[in-house]
Amino acid sequence: MKQRICLIEDDPIMGEALNERLDLEGYACDWFQTGAAAIKALASRRFTLVVSDIRLPDMSGEALFERLRGEGMELPPFLFITAHGAIDQAVRLLKLGAEDYLTKPLDIPLLLNKIRELAERVHAPFSAAGALGISAAMRRVEAALPRLAQHADTVLITGESGVGKEWVARALHGFFDPAGKKPFIEVNCGAIPENLLESELFGHVKGAFTGAIRDKPGVFEQADGGTLFLDEIGDMPLAMQVKLLRAIQERKVVRVGGEKALTFNIKLICATHRDLKEMVQNGEFREDLYYRVHVMQLHVPPLRERKEDILWLAARFATELCQAKGLPPRKLDPLAEQTLTRYPWPGNIRELKHALERACILGQQSLISPQTLFGELAPELACAPDDATPERLTDYLAKCERAYLTQMLEQNAWRITETAAQLDISRKALWDKMRRLDVARPATDKPA
């Protein structure tokens, strides 16, 4: 079946030319000269993507896009065509979730390449184009996934804690598994006690140790035929790294207490927030394992380096949280949007989601304010540097991370286990952060 494209262009000469060219390229093209006609078509049939001029006779492309988003429709990717004078409008559309824009006069080969790229991405089984972010950095990550899925068996995802490495891993698994029938098994290597890690990875047989009342398959067996995601592999103890390397190389495991080698066939995705190369130099990570997992690398930048994603993610989280908890819709007021984009988010996407969850639950108004987002810590969390005495970037980020950790600990009454679980890090990692940032429970809060 031909991929169907919605073309919205009021100029009869350009519209007819593009319509014919897309037909020659093998696409089914529906051409509309007004926004109203296109809206009606988009509501009644499915399109692979939309190619739209920004200047239309009855409405702007921006008004068209906002109206469709406001109606809650599941939209195909939008590629806008604009004159040089309207580039600022095109950039606003990108922030709202459009895929890309091209300027007039059109470079037809470039347009066709864009269309082919978007059509290929949409028709890949993991479908949500733009699911990882709208920034250029995340678009590059997302664009690399189909090729990695086709050619790589082992992928390493790097990035700070909370940047969305698991999202990328699940998206990559979606390309590995077109039919959506294969397992995706995730294990956090830093969250499992060292004495239980071998059993978790490789399984055990009945009677192997006290409490082993039945045979238990490990995650390698559970992931057979699918994808195994080893999160925070940099936190794995050295002694276990030797056994992990052998399992990856031989594609075989022996359960704890067992004798029979069990084979498996998996796609392996590893992730870490640590610098594995530096760990190798310090003797904390095996060099042979490093080269085994560092076959293909994807780096996910921190949220402060892709500010375009902040408001997009905030709107997404607010919508999802309100729907999940049965709350009335919430939107950010202009000052909240400004605060969100200025704040450096040391906890990255995880911190942003926690802030939105707090605001949606505690807020009484339809508009979310900075105070609703950050509570009593709003002035400190804003972290606006004094222009007269500029701070170093490391000091600035440390102050914000300290405030964030303090907020999360206070919300959990300074219970380390609950806070570490909410932050999705190990207790040890939380203690290390508290020591490094000099975060301590106030003496007046400590039990007598």
Residues 167 and 104 in one domain: no
Q: What is the pTM of this model?
A: 0.62
Residues 334 and 276 in one domain: no
Residues 283 and 145 in one domain: yes
Report residue 376's pLDDT band, with 50, 70 and 90 as the boundaries.
Answer: low
Q: With left for phi above 0 and alpha for psi between -120 and 50, is residue 283 left, alpha or beta?
A: left
Residues 196 and 143 in one domain: yes
Residues 234 and 140 in one domain: yes
Of 107 and 424, more confident:
107
Q: Which ranges of 294-392 does DSSP label H, i.e. alpha helix? A: 308-325, 334-342, 348-362, 370-374, 378-382
The answer, yes or no, to whether residue 388 has pLDDT greater than 60, is: no
How long is the chain? 448
Residue 223's CATH number: 3.40.50.300
pLDDT of residue 209: 84
Structure confidence by residue, pLDDT tens digits, 294-349: 989 999 999 998 888 898 899 889 988 888 888 888 888 877 887 888 888 989 99
For the record, the structure tokens of 315 come out as: 């709107």
Structure confidence by residue, pLDDT tens digits, 5-17: 999 999 999 999 9
Domain count for the chain: 3
Residue 45 lies in a domain: yes
Residue 72's CATH number: 3.40.50.2300
323-326-329-335 Cα dihedral, nearest 10 degrees: -90
Query: Which residues, at least 6 apart from 437, have a Cβ–Cβ distance to it below 8 Å?
Result: 398, 401, 402, 405
Does the N-terminal peptide bond of residue 105 adopt cis geometry, omega within 30 degrees of 0?
A: yes
Residues 314 and 295 in one domain: no
Query: Which residues, at least 6 apart from 298, have a Cβ–Cβ distance to it below 8 Å?
Result: 141, 144, 148, 155, 156, 157, 158, 168
Residues 359 and 408 in one domain: yes
**CA 401 – CA 322 distance, rounded (Å):** 27
Residue 311 lies in a domain: yes
**End position of a domain, from candidates 261, 281, 299:** 299
Residue 364 lies in a domain: yes
**End position of a domain, from candidates 245, 278, 299:** 299
Residue 112 lies in a domain: yes
Residue 403's CATH number: 1.10.8.60
Residues 274 and 322 in one domain: no
Structure confidence by residue, pLDDT tens digits, 89-117: 777 777 677 888 888 888 899 999 889 88
Of 399 and 280, more confident:
280
Residue 131 lies in a domain: no
Residues 344 and 266 in one domain: no
Structure confidence by residue, pLDDT tens digits, 28-58: 999 999 999 999 998 888 888 999 999 899 9
Contact 262, 202 (CB under 8 A): no
**CA 189 – CA 233 distance, rounded (Å):** 6
Residues 290 and 311 in one domain: no
The answer, yes or no, to whether residue 173 has pLDDT greater than 90, is: yes
Residues 259 and 395 in one domain: no
Residues 202 and 107 in one domain: no
Structure confidence by residue, pLDDT tens digits, 237-262: 999 999 999 999 999 999 999 989 99
The answer, yes or no, to whether residue 404 has pLDDT greater than 60, is: yes
Contact 251, 265 (CB under 8 A): yes
Contact 89, 54 (CB under 8 A): yes
Residue 217 lies in a domain: yes
pLDDT of residue 127: 37
Query: Percent of the chain at pLDDT above 90?
Result: 41
Secondary structure (DSSP) of 233-270: GGGS-HHHHHHHHHHHHHTEEE-BT--SEEE---EEEE
Which domain range does residue 382 map to? 304-445
Residue 110 lies in a domain: yes
The answer, yes or no, to whether residue 381 has pLDDT greater than 70, is: no
